[in-house]
């Protein structure tokens, strides 16, 4: 494991959220947001309305900037996000989850909790100097973000689709050059 369990979970959910903005946009309905929320094990307040959806959609470019920022810039962005949200870190234990960090109240709006969860995860990324684990997809035509949690740092594509497309292109290039 590269980061603590809750850090990895927060980074995975943030990257998935940012990548919904890659065309075609896949976060356009409350149902889409439900799907992301459930898949990533979020708990706490859900409004399930259009306002909440709009707020979370608008957070995507903010998180994207944070996740691809260089180390010094990321530190500034993290501090701003935590201050704006008046984050107050504390250890909690709920459901099947052992002690982990929460930094905003469970009844805070979803958008604020996602912003703070992500900022807290990037705290670890900055402290450990592991920023190179986050990158933009190696596919020329894709803006998706990649979170590489592999031991040998081998992950370069945001999705299986991008990896396969590039594997096919590389295979064709090798055949042509024979
Ligand atoms: Zn929790
Ligand atoms: Zn991609």
The per-residue pLDDT for range 75-127, each reduced to its tens digit, is: 999 999 999 999 999 999 988 888 988 999 989 999 999 999 999 999 999 99
**β-pair partners for 134:** 147
d(CA 55, CA 59): 6
Interval between CA 44 and ligand 1 midpoint (Å): 9
pLDDT at 158: 95
Q: Supply the DSSP symbol for 138.
A: S
Q: Which ligand is nearest to the CA of 99?
A: 1
Calculate how far, in angstroms, residue 60's C-alpha sits from the geometric centre of ligand 2.
17
Residue 74's nearest CA partner among 16, 27, 121 is 121
- Both tokens of 111, joined, read 């958008």
Q: How far is CA 100 from CA 7, 59, 72, 74, 90, in A?
A: 9, 24, 26, 22, 8
- Region of 86 (left: φ > 0; alpha: ψ -120 to 50; beta: rest) is left
Q: Which pLDDT belongs to residue 42?
A: 87
Tokens 């958008």 belong to which residue? 111
Query: Average pLDDT in the 30-52 region?
Result: 95
pLDDT at 43: 85
Least confident range of 27-41, 48-62, 91-105: 91-105
- Please, which residues have CB within 8 angstroms of residue 21's CB and are 6 or more apart in sequence? 27, 57, 60, 61, 64
Ligand nearest to the CA of 138: 2
Q: What is the pLDDT of residues 117-176, one digit of tens each?
A: 999 999 999 999 999 999 999 999 999 999 999 999 999 999 999 999 998 888 888 888
**Structure-block tokens of residue 109:** 């709006």
- Residues listed for the chain: 178
- Give 97's strand partners: 94
Q: At 35, which helix (H) or strand (E)? A: helix 30-39
Residues 77, 81, 137, CA angle at the centre, nearest 5°? 55
With 90 as the cut, is the pLDDT of residue 56 above it? yes
Average pLDDT estimate for 8-22: 97
Residue 176's pLDDT is 82
Ligand 2 ion: residues within 5 Å (CB): 137, 139, 142, 144, 158, 162
- Between CA 82 and CA 119, with CA 41 as vertex, the angle to 5 degrees is 15
Is the pTM for the entire model greater than 0.85? yes
Cα torsion 83, 149, 72, 65: sign: negative
């Amino acid at each position: 494991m590269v980061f603590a369990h809750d850090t990895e979970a927060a980074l995975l959910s943030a990257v998935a959220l940012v990548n919904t903005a890659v065309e075609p946009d896949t976060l356009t309905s409350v149902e889409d947001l439900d799907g992301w929320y459930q898949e990533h094990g979020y708990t706490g307040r859900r409004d399930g309305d259009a306002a909440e959806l709009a707020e979370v959609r608008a957070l995507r470019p903010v998180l994207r900037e944070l996740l691809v920022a260089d180390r010094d810039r990321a530190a500034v962005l993290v501090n701003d996000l935590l201050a704006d949200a008046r984050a107050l870190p504390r250890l909690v234990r709920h459901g099947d989850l052992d002690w982990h960090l929460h930094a905003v109240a469970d009844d805070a709006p979803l958008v604020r909790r996602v912003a703070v969860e992500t900022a807290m995860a990037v705290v670890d990324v900055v402290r450990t100097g592991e920023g190179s684990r986050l990158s933009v997809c190696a596919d020329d035509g894709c803006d998706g973000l990649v979170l590489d949690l592999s031991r040998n740092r081998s992950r370069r594509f945001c999705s299986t689709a991008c990896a396969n497309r590039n594997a096919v292109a590389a295979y064709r290039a090798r055949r042509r050059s024979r």
